Amino acid sequence: MADADERDTEPSRDVALIVGGGPGISASCARLFSENGMRVGIAARNPDKPVLQALEKSHAVRRYACDAGEPDAVERLFDDVVRDLGPPTLVVHNIDGRMAEIFRKEITEADPRRVLETLRNSAFSAFLVGQQAARRMRHNDPASNGARGTIVFTNASAALKGFPRSGAFAMACHAKSGLAQSMARELMPEGIHVANVPIDAAIGWTQTDGSRMHRLAGTSIDDNMADPDRIAEVYLQLHRQHRSTWAFEIVLRPWVERW
Amino acid sequence: MADADERDTEPSRDVALIVGGGPGISASCARLFSENGMRVGIAARNPDKPVLQALEKSHAVRRYACDAGEPDAVERLFDDVVRDLGPPTLVVHNIDGRMAEIFRKEITEADPRRVLETLRNSAFSAFLVGQQAARRMRHNDPASNGARGTIVFTNASAALKGFPRSGAFAMACHAKSGLAQSMARELMPEGIHVANVPIDAAIGWTQTDGSRMHRLAGTSIDDNMADPDRIAEVYLQLHRQHRSTWAFEIVLRPWVERW
Amino acid sequence: MADADERDTEPSRDVALIVGGGPGISASCARLFSENGMRVGIAARNPDKPVLQALEKSHAVRRYACDAGEPDAVERLFDDVVRDLGPPTLVVHNIDGRMAEIFRKEITEADPRRVLETLRNSAFSAFLVGQQAARRMRHNDPASNGARGTIVFTNASAALKGFPRSGAFAMACHAKSGLAQSMARELMPEGIHVANVPIDAAIGWTQTDGSRMHRLAGTSIDDNMADPDRIAEVYLQLHRQHRSTWAFEIVLRPWVERW
Amino acid sequence: MADADERDTEPSRDVALIVGGGPGISASCARLFSENGMRVGIAARNPDKPVLQALEKSHAVRRYACDAGEPDAVERLFDDVVRDLGPPTLVVHNIDGRMAEIFRKEITEADPRRVLETLRNSAFSAFLVGQQAARRMRHNDPASNGARGTIVFTNASAALKGFPRSGAFAMACHAKSGLAQSMARELMPEGIHVANVPIDAAIGWTQTDGSRMHRLAGTSIDDNMADPDRIAEVYLQLHRQHRSTWAFEIVLRPWVERW
């Protein structure tokens, strides 16, 4: 398998950009991509978070400040990445957008301004990032697996099912799925692999001290919740898939999850 | 059937509000609901369109000016409807939101401002209308079919499948489906029937002179495209369904449609 | 609505055949279709059940003996119906096929012979009935709603989701959905309306003495479970839909159902 | 990645059984699994096909004669595999079941006996194989990725969409999906990974002389159709996934496929 992987992509020219930066999937992706020879950038509203500073030190990850819901900011981000690292070949949109203020509130109680903000932070930013990624990847030469680049949208259970008391989040996640599907049908025949990955589970995350914690509960992570390191491995597999057999959507859930 | 229908709802107290006003589904709904004894209001950005003025004359339809993407405007609309007609028992959200400027354009060409406007006009306005409808309907007494009210979201093929070169529209329609699903799971157990009706077809419409035309092609309507009068009948059937057997989603398509 | 209904179909020539005969949906359909002017036949392995004898007396329903999993028997059934009542215009396949011996048993415990029997009784009989219906309906003149006939497959939650400990039932229900979809795409352009109706609920039924009971629990029916009389109304609405706006699938569930 | 893979499973004790043996996916799986250190068995109605004899010579693949639609034969097959190779840890059901006699024939023309045979060869054999696999895998100790075993069902586009003029194949493929879903919900919490892999494409295959051909057209394989070697890689990735992030369904399609 290792041989096959190396045959399919050229790590030396692989540039990964992760939009949305936290200690969960984004950090796991940054580490794994870097360990596999990619140059890695990560964009966040606040690029000075300790987890990102630590990644810069440990894995030479480049940090970018970006409000991904702002068209101009996203365009500038891609300009900067091309200048610093080269044209991206793997872009991960990893912004969830759920807001504590309205999540699990009755629809009659949700503040409309937060609902619009959720749509902007999640679905609209996915559009902006996807659009810029498509613009840049089109000009890439195909790698040996036939791909000019890979765009991965991290998504959630709410993309698969609209749960009660989370109308805004259901809108945002469904919108992201619709966007990903449209982009896949449009861009795959141009050699750009687009994938939607709903994580149907609570996700653990890794502390800066290396210990791993449940994102919400603060308890120690175990294999009953999705391990962000394993999610990152799936993203890498998607990036390395040969274009003769591309997966568009992979739902990941722990073995004990009810669905 | 006629007897059964009368047993299930009380037309005398039925108040229908249609948000989004044009010569297609909205006009057909206004006519049919009025002919079935409901008091009917219709809201549009421009309530002075000839088709709406004609409906006022022919069917005593009340016209309201409303930008359905504005939270305050939607709240005022419902206040006005309650004052003028009584608390709504049937609310139809019938705003499509697709914008000629970006529809069927490559994702790399779509103007981000139009994309956000599409989300606001379609998905976000659906949220605002659904939220206000839920607030008012909760206080309705159940009709004899057990329902406190019915909320119908008109939707499109893009809710079922993200087509290439229409990422923004796919986002908006998928978002509307996600919202409708979340609201259905939340509100049905409270006696409010929520339905999502994707029309998988071109829709004809009726001119003010009574002739019926294809919305896009301008040709005469025939049964190869969805007839808005028939769509309105399905909405009325949904409104009259007994709560022992509620349908959440009905996809309507003409017999010759490929899918 | 009453006028519209009469305009769309000609009850005088409508012939309904219900395959699968019990005191639930089948009996409700037989009564409603007969009350709407159709000639009605009902086929069951044992046509001498009291509920069917009662329907013969009260609604002149014609009874037929048929093992719907036998190709020759199904062909003979349709020959007999054409001879006795005329060519069918509405055919309902209403055989569930779940077998107590394997339902909710672990997959390692299910007797393979029962699994094959389940497939034969449910999915294969749906194919046989659908095939014969298509053969006969093709030669019907279109009614005023444009339809040569309507074929309705009653289905279950297991068509939407494969539940644990019911692999055989999941296979049978999924198979029926796949068949219905294939037939819809093939036959709708020929003017034959094909519909799949998963009932996502426990279904009540009506005793011969008129009282209504929960099919499994034996308790009195209320609106927390699907009322077969309401299901029959949906089938009649499907049959009367104009071909400009046909629904292929309608999932019915009670207001309080979790999904 | 290579280290991670070795950490997760112990190739030395991995036993793979492939049911359905031809020169496409089955042969690719046999080669790849063997090259990754597994002991491999392959079952076919006719185990003396040249492609299987070649695999025996080149990769020490053990050949078994089995009609997978016969309950006793399937039970015997698993007994023999346990005796010869050890308890299986990876089972692939790779029988398509489509029959030239009825494929793409109008529903009115399909011979019912072939329809039942299709159901038996495909869906029912999937049940039999899945049942035996579950019985044996339950007793396996978990590997280091937490899995007691992996069951993969190869499926087809017809599992996702019922195409016209292929009702029997739609039934069989939908049934297989329903079974896989039910088994996944039932067995994943016991540590058995169940996956459904619809290949939404024509599949190429490899001749005994090493050249690769389109299965149907007989033309040379290229990356416009699914490459069975790449499909086999996905199966191996599924087998190696950690139970904290299991994928249930992966649809694979070539970059140029329309969907």
What percent of chain A clears pLDDT 90, i.e. is strictly above it? 79
Q: B19 to chain C, minimum CA–CA distance in Å?
A: 22
Determine how many CB atoms are found less than 10 A away from the CB of residue A83: 8
What's the complex ipTM?
A: 0.92
Q: Does D212 touch chain A (CB under 8 A)?
A: no
Does residue B130 sit in helix, strand or coil?
A: helix
Segment D121-134 shows an average pLDDT of: 98
Question: C212 with C8: CB under 8 angstroms?
Answer: no
**Which tokens hold the place of A142?**
């195909």
Inter-chain residue contact B254 with C236, CB threshold 8 Å = no
Which amino acid, C236?
L
Residue D1 pLDDT > 50, yes or no?
no
Q: D259 to chain C, minimum CA–CA distance in Å?
A: 16
What percent of chain B clears pLDDT 90, i.e. is strictly above it? 79
Mean pLDDT of chain B: 90
Contacts of C115 in chain D (CB under 8 A): 124, 127
Tens digits of per-residue pLDDT, C81-120? 999 999 999 999 999 888 888 888 999 999 999 999 999 9
Dist CA A51 CA C86 (whole Å):
76
Query: Which of B107, B165, B176 lies closest to A131 in CB terms?
Result: B107
Question: D27 with D206: CB under 8 angstroms?
Answer: yes
Contacts of B227 in chain C (CB under 8 A): 242, 244-245
pLDDT classification of D258: cutoffs 50, 70, 90 = very high
Please give the pLDDT value at position A2: 37
Q: Which of A193-202, C3-12, C187-196, D242-251 has the lowest mean pLDDT?
A: C3-12
What percent of chain D clears pLDDT 70, i.e. is strictly above it? 88
Query: Which of D146, D223, D246 lies closest to A242 in CB terms?
Result: D223
- pTM, rounded to two decimals: 0.93
Please give the pLDDT value at position D162: 97
Contacts of D137 in chain C (CB under 8 A): none
Residue B90 pLDDT > 60, yes or no?
yes
**Which tokens hold the place of C78?**
């349709």
Residue D7 pLDDT > 50, yes or no?
no
CB pairs under 8 A between A and D: 108
Query: Which of B130, B164, B171 lies closest to A127 in CB terms?
Result: B171
Pairing of strands B246-253, C62-65: unpaired
Mean pLDDT of chain A: 90
Q: A68 to chain B, minimum CA–CA distance in Å?
A: 12
pLDDT classification of C3: cutoffs 50, 70, 90 = very low
Residue A220 pLDDT > 90, yes or no?
no
Question: D92 with D17: CB under 8 angstroms?
Answer: yes
Segment A219-242 shows an average pLDDT of: 87
Q: C1 to chain B, minimum CA–CA distance in Å?
A: 7
Dist CA B220 CA B204 (whole Å):
8
E-strand ranges in C89-211 read: 90-93, 149-156, 192-199, 204-206
Query: Which of C236, C245, C252 lies closest to B245 in CB terms?
Result: C252
Tens digits of per-residue pLDDT, A104-123? 899 999 999 999 999 999 99
Beta-carbon contacts of residue C9 (< 8 Å; ≥ 6 apart): C89, C143, C144, C145, C147, C239, C240
Tens digits of per-residue pLDDT, C208-255? 555 565 544 555 556 778 899 999 999 999 999 999 999 999 999 999
Beta-carbon contacts of residue D232 (< 8 Å; ≥ 6 apart): D25, D28, D29, D31, D32, D33
Query: Which of C248, C254, C259 lies closest to B245 in CB terms?
Result: C254
Beta bridge partners of D156: D199
More confident: A133 or B21: A133
B 138-177 residues with CB below 8 A of A?
138, 158-159, 161-168, 170-177
Segment D67-91 shows an average pLDDT of: 98
Q: Does B127 touch chain A (CB under 8 A)?
A: yes
Please give the pLDDT value at position C102: 84
Please give the pLDDT value at position B23: 87
Mean pLDDT of chain D: 90
Pairing of strands A246-253, D246-253: antiparallel
Tens digits of per-residue pLDDT, B14-42? 999 999 988 899 999 999 999 999 999 99
Minimal Cα distance from C182: which residue of D?
D162
Inter-chain residue contact A245 with D230, CB threshold 8 Å = yes
Which amino acid, D110?
A
Contacts of D123 in chain C (CB under 8 A): 119, 171, 175
Please give the pLDDT value at position B245: 95
Residue A5 pLDDT > 70, yes or no?
no
pLDDT classification of A103: cutoffs 50, 70, 90 = confident
Tens digits of per-residue pLDDT, B153-200? 999 999 999 999 999 999 999 999 999 999 999 999 999 999 999 999
Residue A51 pLDDT > 80, yes or no?
yes
Inter-chain residue contact D223 with A236, CB threshold 8 Å = no
Residue A8 pLDDT > 60, yes or no?
no
Please give the pLDDT value at position C92: 98
Q: Give me the DSSP letters along A146-185.
A: S-SEEEEEEEEGGGT---TT-HHHHHHHHHHHHHHHHHHH
pLDDT classification of D208: cutoffs 50, 70, 90 = low
